[in-house]
Structure 1
Amino acid sequence: MSSGLDWTFAWAVEAGKGKTEAQDACLATTLPNGAVAVAAADGAGSTVHGGVGARIACEVFGRSAGELLELATDDEIRSRSRAFLADTLAEISAVAAEADRPISDFATTFVGVVADESRVVTVQIGDGAAVAGLSDGLALIAKPMATEFVNVTRFLTDKDAEDRLVVEVFLQAANRICAFTDGLQPLIVDERTQEPHAPFFERVFSVLVGASEEPFDERASAWLSKMLSGDPVQKRTDDDTSIVVARRLP
């Protein structure tokens, strides 16, 4: 982590109804040169170790995301994103082999965002989404992945995952970033217009004030946890929910 407070961030994960442990994972970390990386992953609920796969994906992205901003062209960024996928699968495969389980037991979706003062890069496979505050306002920068059937998604562990990986590059600076998994998605993104629900995001970002000397905001994370466990969310979804938010400090 960088020693300065270029960004402050927070995250929260809440298990779905009737579950003792969530399969989702989140991560945020500051990077050199005033950059930040955030990620959210949703381990497949039908698997045994989807949550482990989700955590591995977020951790690998946190370690490697800064490399995406060192590259000059979109093609180079997409190539390095495929390398991130390969690195993630290698780590998951090692854990799966040790547990004597198939890699499909660690299936997970993934959405990651890395941003500096001039670019925003998103890396995604499966559902979940990300929103950023850009120069022209809030924008859905990573959109839920469309599939042929309802309630069917893609996973990092799929055989055709490399073909399904979506990488986007935005030549703008972001001052606010939020990534979230599909449990929260229909509550805060209009399914028809694909527009983020601005009042929700403005409220969430306003909680991040950078009140400590560390980038991780414990108070904001506690607020997010309370929000995810509250009736307005719990009455509208049975799924795990997770959210990670970051805000550039003035």
Structure 2
Amino acid sequence: MIWKHLSLSVTGKSHSDRNEPGQDYCRTGAVRFADRDFFIGLAADGAGSTIRGGIGAEIACETLYLQVLSLIRTGRTLSSVTDDDARAWIAASREAILIRAQDDGQRLKDYACTLIGSVLSEDHAIFFQIGDGCIVTGNDDGYHTVFWPEQGEYANTTFFVSDDDFLDHIRIDRRERPPGEIALFTDGLQNLVLSFSTRTVHEGFFRPLFTVLRKNPEKGGLDLTAQLHTLLTRDDVTARSDDDKTLILAVNIP
């Protein structure tokens, strides 16, 4: 089994109009080690209340990616990974952000970000999340969310890796059978592709994207990244959400 994947973060109109950098970041990789194939997908969204949130998002994703990669290279199976291991990955990301904040003479909360991730192998899947955004999986029974986006006590608030009680808001799920398709996205897309009244997924958004990704050749195919950029920056999409948008798509190929 191999994993084909596509990912992109685009700056929302709310930031670009003020000449600010985007606050979203994503990191993906299809890794092969000892004849076993893995997919790592990570996305983070910097808090809108601080302009350093994007830095925190990048540090969180890159640190956690290295944490997972290090574990894979020890030869451990994904099924042996515990919830405490996953919490340790996120804690390491938070520590890396703290070190950067201290080096910059800033507060940890100035680098606040959400974090969502998945690690998949041929026979196991681990999902984890803190804050909003969402993970959607697709199998023969349709498309479903792994966790529903977690909102704070007030409107437009959520939870961050930088929070003092971050461990209380880490959600972890695991499955013995990895999904055939998976999408991860930040909150800039969630109102467009999820129905909050019924807590369901708009399959019409995801199914065509996965179909194109699955059929596109590894070499000589269409430039799917450019097409994804066009989709995420379309006027009708921007009109419904002017926030940064990150979308990660992956399909497994037997």
Question: Taking structure 2 as the reference length, what is the TM-score of the superposition?
Answer: 0.88
3-state SS of the aligned residue for 2:224?
helix
3-state SS of the aligned residue for 1:184?
helix
How far the C-alpha of 1:90 sits from its partner, in A, is 1.6
Aligned position for 1:70:
77
Aligned position for 1:117:
122
1:219 aligns with 2:215: no
The CA distance in 2 between the partners of 1:124 and 1:83, in whole Å, is 13
The CA distance in 2 between the partners of 1:93 and 1:158, in whole Å, is 11
**Seq. identity, %:** 32
CA contact under 8 A between 2:151 and 2:159: conserved in structure 1? no
Which residue identity does 2:22 align to in structure 1?
Answer: A
After TM superposition, the structure 1 = structure 2 runs for residues 138-217 of structure 1, keeping only pairs within 5 Å, are 138-208=143-213, 209-212=215-218
The CA distance in 2 between the partners of 1:238 and 1:95, in whole Å, is 29
Which residue identity does 2:218 align to in structure 1?
Answer: S
CA contact under 8 A between 2:78 and 2:125: conserved in structure 1? no
The CA distance in 2 between the partners of 1:31 and 1:15, in whole Å, is 28
The CA distance in 2 between the partners of 1:219 and 1:94, in whole Å, is 38
How far the C-alpha of 1:103 sits from its partner, in A, is 0.9
Aligned position for 2:245:
241
How far the C-alpha of 1:30 sits from its partner, in A, is 1.1
3-state SS of the aligned residue for 2:201?
coil
Q: Deviations over 1:48-105 (max 9, x none)?
A: 31001111111123223354873546xx521011111221012111211111111111
How far the C-alpha of 1:213 sits from its partner, in A, is 5.2
Counterparts in 2 of 1:193 and 1:77: CA distance versus 1, 3 Å: farther
Aligned position for 1:58:
61
CA contact under 8 A between 1:43 and 1:106: conserved in structure 2? yes
1:13 aligns with 2:4: no
Which residue identity does 1:233 align to in structure 2?
Answer: V
Counterpart selection for 1:84 from 81, 85, 89: 89
3-state SS of the aligned residue for 2:248?
strand
Q: CA RMSD in A?
A: 2.1
Q: Deviations over 1:135-188 (max 9, x none)?
A: 433221132014322211000000000111110112222121110000100100
Which residue identity does 1:12 align to in structure 2?
Answer: L
- Stretch of structure 1 that moved more, 51-60 or 15-24: 15-24
Aligned position for 1:26:
26
1:99 aligns with 2:104: yes
Segments of 5+ residues of structure 1 without an aligned counterpart are none
Aligned position for 1:35:
38
Which residue identity does 1:37 align to in structure 2?
Answer: I
- Stretch of structure 1 that moved more, 59-68 or 125-134: 59-68
The CA distance in 2 between the partners of 1:166 and 1:43, in whole Å, is 19
The CA distance in 2 between the partners of 1:136 and 1:119, in whole Å, is 18
The CA distance in 2 between the partners of 1:195 and 1:103, in whole Å, is 35
Counterparts in 2 of 1:135 and 1:34: CA distance versus 1, 3 Å: farther
